[in-house]
Every structure is written in structure tokens, then in C-alpha cells.
């Protein structure tokens, strides 16, 4: 569905005219739809992008506000283009328990971890300003603005954005019981999309040799 279709459906469920609304404005509906779109991305991490990250000499930490962009939610996978291997996710506590002065170890990065929301760390740290990592990350999608803008999730999950918008608008007017019914409906779509995202890289079937 495009943005215009989404807005029209929200107005319909609110028993409002989409061409000449009285109670809720078009701006209200647009804001709630975009809030739902972002909420769905935050909860399910369906919106994935990748960027090439330059490695720097003796640098452990990289600020994702400059490497990725302000849509960043978190890392998914990282590929070392020099070793042709995927980096293993790690926890800082693992390093602290395993190694003394681990932040001084040099070499090709083999593991990655997060410090806070924005700082991505790699271990070991590179010995020179050379090489790259291919960073795949989840983020939030661009805001819908034009009527022809479309949401990128599969059609069967798009109604979740509508349910969230209706919930949000009703909640703002203290229509609590009605709002909660739409929130419950939204959560069904959120859960289904999260399951789809978690399994979208899985094969439909696995072949095998007959005995």
C-alpha cells in the first residue's frame, strides 16, 4: 500500500472522511502512521542496510553515527573482506575474563561488540590504516511524506502500521478501551513480522540422502 491508501484506511476505521476530515487532521494521521512504521522497525529489525567500514590503525572503537547514519539501531553481521570470514559477536565481559589488556592486541579483526548504543568495537584492533569490514545493520526506514511513498514490508504485515495508527489516535483522545483493542491487533502483526525476519534466511526445505 502507498501512503495515500494507508491514510484513507485509517480515516475509514475512525469513521472520518479522508477528503474533508473533521476531528482528526491529515497531519495527525500521517504522524501516527509514521510512528507505527518506525515502531515496527524498532521492534522487529526488518529494515536492514549495509555499509563498508574502513579499518584504522590501533582503533578499537568506531562511532556508528559517522560510519552508518542516524537510522542506526544495531549491528546484524560483519564480514572481514581481508580474511573472507564473518566476525563473531562478543561481550566485553568475555574479554575481561579471558585476557589482560585485550584492547592492546593487534591483528585482523575476528570479533565485534557494542559499547552503548553507538560505539562498535572490534578485536583485535588493526595494525595499519588498511582493509575494510562490510557491516550489515538494522535501522529505521525513511519517513513517509508523499502520497505515492510505499512501505517496504511484505503486504501481509502492512496492516500492522494501520492498526498502530488507529490505536495511537484513539489513545490520544483517551478512548482507552478502543485503543487497546487496536494495540492488541498491532502486536499480532509485530510478532508475525518478527518471526518472518528471524526466519527469512532459512531454507524452505533441507535436502538429504536417502538411506
Question: What would the pLDDT profile of 182-197 be if each residue is shown by its tens digit?
Answer: 999 999 999 999 999 8
Count of other CB atoms within 10 angstroms of residue 12: 13
Query: What's the CA gap between 150 and 144, in Å, rounded?
Result: 8
Q: Report pLDDT for 22.
A: 73
Question: What would the pLDDT profile of 31-80 be if each residue is shown by its tens digit?
Answer: 999 999 999 999 998 888 899 999 999 899 999 988 887 688 889 899 99
Residue positions counted in the chain: 211
Query: What's the CA gap between 163 and 189, in Å, rounded?
Result: 9
pLDDT mean across residues, the chain = 87
Q: Which of 14, 34, 35, 33 is nearest to 24 (CA)?
A: 14
What confidence category does residue 211 fall into, taking pLDDT thresholds of 50, 70 and 90?
A: very low
Amino acid at each position: 500500500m502507498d501512503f495515500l491508501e494507508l491514510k484513507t484506511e485509517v480515516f475509514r476505521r475512525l469513521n472520518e472522511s479522508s477528503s474533508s476530515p473533521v476531528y482528526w487532521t491529515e497531519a495527525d494521521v500521517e504522524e501516527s502512521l509514521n510512528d507505527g512504521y518506525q515502531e515496527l522497525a524498532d521492534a522487529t529489525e526488518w529494515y536492514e542496510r549495509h555499509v563498508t567500514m574502513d579499518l584504522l590503525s590501533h582503533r578499537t572503537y568506531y562511532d556508528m553515527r559517522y560510519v552508518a547514519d542516524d537510522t542506526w539501531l544495531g549491528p546484524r553481521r560483519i564480514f572481514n573482506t581481508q580474511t573472507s570470514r564473518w566476525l563473531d559477536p562478543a561481550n566485553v565481559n568475555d574479554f575481561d575474563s579471558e585476557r589482560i589488556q585485550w584492547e592492546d592486541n593487534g591483528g585482523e579483526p575476528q570479533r565485534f561488540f557494542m559499547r552503548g548504543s553507538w560505539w562498535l568495537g572490534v578485536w583485535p584492533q588493526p595494525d595499519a590504516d588498511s582493509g575494510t569490514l562490510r557491516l550489515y545493520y538494522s535501522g529505521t526506514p525513511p519517513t513517509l511524506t508523499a502520497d505515492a511513498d510505499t512501505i517496504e514490508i511484505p503486504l501481509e504485515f502492512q496492516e500492522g502500521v494501520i492498526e498502530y495508527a488507529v490505536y495511537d489516535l484513539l489513545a490520544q483522545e483517551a478512548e482507552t478501551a478502543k485503543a487497546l483493542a487496536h494495540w492488541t491487533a498491532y502486536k499480532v502483526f509485530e510478532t508475525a513480522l518478527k518471526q518472518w525476519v528471524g526466519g527469512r534466511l532459512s531454507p524452505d526445505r533441507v535436502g538429504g540422502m536417502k538411506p
